[in-house]
A and B are shown apart, each in its own frame.
Chain A
C-alpha cells in the first residue's frame, strides 16, 4: 500500500474490486451479481465519486469472492467500462477491463414476447451486433434487443 493514499472505500485483503461503474448502475450491478443475497462475505461499496473518465463513478469491493466469466459478462452489459481487480493479500494479482463478448448465452432475456426462448426452458442466445450501443440479435427469433430493453436473467 502506498503511503498517504486515501481510500474512500476501505481496502480488502482478498477478493474482487469492481471499479469504474457508472454511478447510476451501481445498484444494478449489486443486484445482477446477487450481492444483496450474499450473507457470508463482507461487501463495501460507494457511489457518486468524482471520476475523470465517467464524471461520476461507483466502486464495489467484495471480500473472499471471485466471479466466473458469466458474471463478468453480465457486468460488461450494464457497466461496459468497469475494471475488475483480483486482490490477494492486499496486492492486485489480476486486472481486466470488462468486455462484452461476441456471443451472449443465458444471461439476457429476449425482448420479443413471441420468441420461443421465452416459452420453453432453454437458454437464451444472442449474437452481439454492436458493443458500443449494445445491440443483441436473438439466435432464435432474430429480433434485436437493445440497451434500453436489456433485461438480465
Chain B
C-alpha cells in the first residue's frame, strides 16, 4: 500500500530522472534508486515517505525496497531537516587538527546539539564519518560544498554567510 503522492519531480527533474533510468540495461532500472533519492532530496530537502513511494512507482519496485535503501545510507535525510544541513566530519584525522574543539564552538554558535535543528529552521547539525578531505581538516559539508581548514572564526564567517542566503 503506497501513499497517494502529493510530491513529484518538477518537469526538469523528471526529465533528468528519465535520463538517469535510461543509463542502465533493460530491466535494471532499480540501479537508478540511489541517484533518484539524491534528486528527490535535492528538490525537497529530505526524502519523505511520499517521495520514496513516488520513486518506487517510477522504478516499478516495492516501497520497502526504497525505504531499506534510504535508511541504510547516511546521506538521505528520512526526517525533515533545516534549510542548511551541516555535515561535520568527526573522524580521527580531522580530530587531530582540532576538529573536536571546532565542533564544540559550532554547537555553541548554533545553540544545538548534533542531530538537532535550530528553532528558526535554518540549520541542522549532523556528525558524519570521514569525508575524504583529511589533509584539509577540520572539514564539514553543506550540500555539495566542502568547507575546509575550519577554525572557530572561519565557522562564524560561514554561518554568517549561510544565514544571509535567501
A interacts with B: no
